[in-house]
């Protein structure tokens, strides 16, 4: 069984997120999504989420491409996640191009193109208008 992992906040879930998850799942048989906790988002990313961790987790678990959702609590956990879950492929959007190449020692690293016309930031900005 080929296992794939991806990371994100997945706040205000939209079709760009679903596109990423679908393409990530197509690279293997089992998709692990590591979801940033509220504390990690606030303390490390200075992001306040609209939906709580538990709400975002529930939304992700409802998507057929997602097999497991686990919490992201630190930047440093990626190597241990890859090892613990026996990951074959690490996937991120191409806006992170090169940032996770250090994981190539442990698994394949793939940067997928983002869906260009949609983002959570864009949704938030449009709602302010």
- Respond yes or no: is residue 48 known to be catalytic: no
| Alpha carbon distances (Å) from 97 to 66, 101, 115 | 23, 8, 15
pTM for the full predicted model: 0.91
Instruction: Determine the pLDDT at residue 23.
Output: 97
Note the pLDDT tens digit of each residue in 65-118: 999 999 999 999 999 999 999 999 999 999 999 999 999 999 999 999 988 777
Which residue is associated with the tokens 């191409």? Answer: 94
Out of 2, 3, 25, 47, pick the active-site residue: 47
Q: Which two tokens stand for residue 30?
A: 């089992």
| Residues 13-33 pLDDT 10s | 888 899 999 999 999 999 999
Cα 43 from Cα 35, distance rounded (Å): 15
Which position among 45, 99, 104, 124 bears the catalytic label? 45
């Amino acid at each position: 069984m080929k296992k794939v992992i991806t990371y994100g906040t997945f706040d205000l879930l939209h079709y760009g997120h679903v596109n990423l998850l679908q393409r990530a799942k197509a690279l293997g048989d089992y998709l692990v999504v590591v979801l940033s906790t509220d504390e990690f988002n606030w303390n490390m990313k200075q992001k306040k989420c609209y939906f709580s961790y538990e709400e975002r987790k529930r939304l992700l678990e409802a998507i057929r491409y997602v097999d497991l959702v686990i919490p992201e609590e630190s930047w440093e956990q990626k190597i241990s996640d890859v090892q613990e879950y026996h990951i074959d492929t690490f996937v991120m959007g191409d806006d992170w191009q090169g940032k996770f190449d250090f994981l190539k020692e442990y698994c394949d690293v793939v940067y997928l193109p983002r869906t260009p016309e949609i983002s959570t930031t864009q949704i938030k900005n449009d709602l302010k208008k």
